[in-house]
Amino acid sequence: MFLGTGTSFGVPQLNCGCEVCRSTDSRDRRQRTSAMVSIAGKNLLIDCGPDFRHQMLENGRPVPDALLVTHSHYDHLGGIDDLRPYSYVDGGFPIYCRDDVAQAIHAGMPYCFEPYRYPGAPVLDLHVIDTAPFEVHGIEVMPLPVMHTATLLITGYRIGGLCYVTDCKTMPQSTIELMRGADTLVINALRHEAHDSHMNLKEAIDVIHAVGPRRALLTHIAHQMGLYAEVSQMLPKGIELAFDGLAIEI
């Protein structure tokens, strides 16, 4: 399920009166990007941004069993404190992330890791990953290394037939090879114009064609992309815009 499909600004964007930000189509309202993958009786949350609490309340209050983090930017980490209700059993709530992300969580939430933890603070069980496959509750997860900027390496994830990538600007050929054979690819496409640290629509479509999934969905979408109803008519067959609350089966 797509919990959020918007950028760090969200859509509508504050202090903007464009036609997308004024749209009454619910598919044009986008919270910060996050998703939940339900597999083998477990719910794996991908990213936990500042809209997390609202996303849980809006989507039937699913219970996440673990968190996979793509990178340390606030729109992907800002909701971690709201994991508290799920964190007081079994040694804490499991979070899987790169070492730089773990360091950012420690720095931003020191009250969770002090010898005498602040009463009521979430109990977080951090697992540092690299590029090797790992297991979460018996489910194999394959990290997908991509570049957010020329120097910022971040992580997408392959879970079974699903590949999920967000905030990518450039993708190594080796990562494209890891995604081949996937049924469904979720990938970021910010807008039509080029951007320094995110793929635009053309760049995302080029990667989709290189991977060759049966189905592709676009996420991390800015208001500059245009209205959902209009952009959807422009996209090649097999590629569609995701929207908040969309649930798909693979």
Give me the residues paired with residue 239 across strands.
216
Residue 199 pLDDT level (bands cut at 50, 70, 90)? very high
CA–chain centroid gap for 124, Å, is 19
- Interval 74-79 mean pLDDT: 98
Q: Which two tokens stand for residue 174?
A: 């080796």
Give me the residues paired with residue 158 across strands.
142, 163
CA–chain centroid gap for 218, Å, is 11
Residue 213 pLDDT level (bands cut at 50, 70, 90)? very high
CB–CB of 241/232 below 8 Å?
A: yes
Give me the residues paired with residue 209 across strands.
none
- What pLDDT does residue 115 have? 87
Looking at every residue in the chain, the average pLDDT score rounds to 97
- This prediction has a pTM of 0.97
Contacts of 29 (CB under 8 A, 6+ apart): 11, 12, 23, 244
The model's pLDDT over 167-195, given as tens digits with 9 standing for 90+, comes to 999 999 999 999 999 999 999 999 999 99
**Nearest 5°: phi and psi at 247?**
-115, 130
- What pLDDT does residue 90 have? 86
Residue 89 pLDDT level (bands cut at 50, 70, 90)? confident
CB–CB of 211/176 below 8 Å?
A: yes
**Does residue 118 surpass a pLDDT of 90?**
no
162-173 burial code (b ≥16 CB/10 A, e <16): bbbbbbbbebee
